[in-house]
Chain A
Amino acid sequence: MNTLLELREKMIRFFTDYDVYIRPLFRFALAILTFITLNDRIGYLGQVNNLLVLIILSVICGILPLNGIVFIGTILIVANCFGLSPIVGAFAVVLYLLMLLLYFRFVPKDALAIVLTPVAVTLHVPLTVPVVMGLMRGPVSAISILFSVISWSFVNCLPETIEGVVNTKGATMVDIVQAIPGAMLNAKTMLVLVSFIVVFLIVTSIHELISSHAWEISIIVSAIVYLGLMIAGGSILNVKINLPMTCLETVLSVAVSFVFEFFFYNADYAHTEFLQFEDDNNYYYVRVTPKRRPRYNLEEESEPKEEVEADADEKRFVERESSAFEKKFDGINLQSKLEESLKNLNTSQTHPNTANMNPIHTSPVQIDPGDVSADRGKKPVDDTLGETKIIRK
């Protein structure tokens, strides 16, 4: 565990030092992952379905803020929909515009969930989205989960259902438009939607509790509830659920959530302290949980280091030859010479007659007009100026 903590500290230090480069790189990596996943799923437009174009778009996302990924990702989805059919493209424009106008104009920070949910589902870690959102955001973000599931459902239904409808001979505009909501809001989507929102609400409510291991408990409980809901809901709504795959996805999602927790919340519950004190108005019951830090064994590391350093000094002392300038002072005890000169200096300064004759040397404060820091905080006093005038006489 200590090794992991040390690694974490090193990574945090590395991120802090190279923050300027890592942030754009992170945005670039996230963008290219998102775009490749989306294009792999719905790559209907040939011009956009090109790795070079995706890299250029990702580089642009690396420069832009994080919501740039949402903007360009949404444009990519819409462009691919136009590649499938202009009607589907128009439907996509209206759908994402409605999402923006109805909700994301109030909470723009949550908009990343729209493009990340399809990616998380494709990477077989679907539970990560509600769990991470629940850990980081408030209960209002349940609406973001709703829209993100709708976005995933829309992207998912294109190759599964809508492509077939579009390619059917004699399919009219109305047929295509009427097929989309039915394909989007099917029983499986409703099941996933309900499961995600329940999981999200469980995580938001548990992780804020003042109890030990609240984050871990919330992740594990949410995984159990998700599995239970998927199995029970699948049998009630007659939705075919691949149980081993769902279990594997849940375990993977839990693992990713724990990694996330390790980096963003790392409380050391073993060293929790309970404090109690009072003032005139209140009694205070305080619980202090320290953050987990790596323990370095300083004694074992420092002792041999000192020996090595001492040896090195000794060698340098022995090996070094005195220079020509130093040879001039051979046989002269410089320390005793210095002490003598200091004694002479002291006696000349403390002599009373000398002090009267030359007041410049005995003045306690020498006012240097250029040294502002010495005079800081003092007002110009006439007495001091008077003293200076006497000195000049």
Chain B
Amino acid sequence: MVDKKRLYLMIGLARFEKKHQDGSFRISRYYRGDYTAFALIRNFLLSTIAYILLLGMLALVNIDTVFSWLNMQDIRFLIAGLVVSYVIFVGVYSVIAYILARIRYVRMQSDMEEYNRALARLNRMYRHAGSDNVYAKHKQEEEEE
């Protein structure tokens, strides 16, 4: 006979797994520090690519201004400006990536707590049903004797 409560719980768990397989389940494989560090490294690489693309596009659009800057005797200011803007750009994006990574990790923790509670409930249900079966077997053996 199908236990309806257990069935509904298993459907809920399956739906949860399907919904969070790319989110919470993936994040739950990491420690918090590792996940944040990984997010920051990835952000650093992507932000650097974005900065280079943005700089290249702006340089191409304002090519005359770029040539006039390059013709300047002292290009140290130009390089310093580029470095400062790069640090600010990557810094701002790192802060955003760090906050988002922390928020995602906290959400994952609450999701997984809920999931683990449901799993424990399912486990209790199975143990309970299992003990009933053991009792039934024991009874049958007794009667056969």
Contact = CB atoms under 8 A, between A and B. Distances in A.
Given A375-B135, A385-B142, A94 B57 contact: yes
Given A101-B49, A106-B96, A177-B61, A372 B56 contact: no
Interface string A153-185: 000000000000000000000100110110000
Contacts of A302: none
A380 interface: yes
A354 interface: no
Given A105-B46, A178-B63, A181-B61, A97 B53 contact: yes
Interface string B92-128: 0000100010000000000000000000000000001
A101 B46 contact: yes
A369 interface: yes
A324 B129 CA distance: 50
Interface residues of B, number: 26
Contacts of B85: none
Contacts of A388: 139, 142-143
Contacts, number: 63
B63 A174 contact: yes
B140 A177 contact: no
Contacts of B56: 94
A383 B42 CA distance: 68
B56 to A, nearest CB: 7
B41 interface: no
Interface string B45-61: 01101100110110011
Nearest to B47: A101
Nearest to A389: B142
Contact of B136 (A94, A106, A375, A379): A375
A105 B100 CA distance: 11
B61 A370 contact: no
Contacts of B132: 372, 375-377
A370 B46 contact: no
Contacts of A106: 96, 100
Contacts of B128: 376-377
A378 interface: yes
Interface of B: 1, 46-47, 49-50, 53-54, 56-57, 60-61, 63, 96, 100, 128-129, 132-133, 135-140, 142-143
24 contacts: A94-B53, A98-B50, A98-B57, A101-B46, A101-B47, A101-B50, A101-B53, A106-B96, A106-B100, A174-B60, A177-B61, A178-B60, A369-B137, A369-B139, A369-B140, A370-B140, A376-B128, A376-B129, A376-B132, A377-B128, A380-B138, A380-B139, A388-B143, A392-B143
Interface of A: 91, 94-95, 97-98, 101-102, 105-106, 174, 177-178, 180-181, 367, 369-373, 375-380, 385, 388, 392
Given A97-B50, A98-B53, A379-B135, 7 more contacts: A95-B57, A101-B49, A367-B139, A370-B136, A371-B136, A376-B128, A380-B135
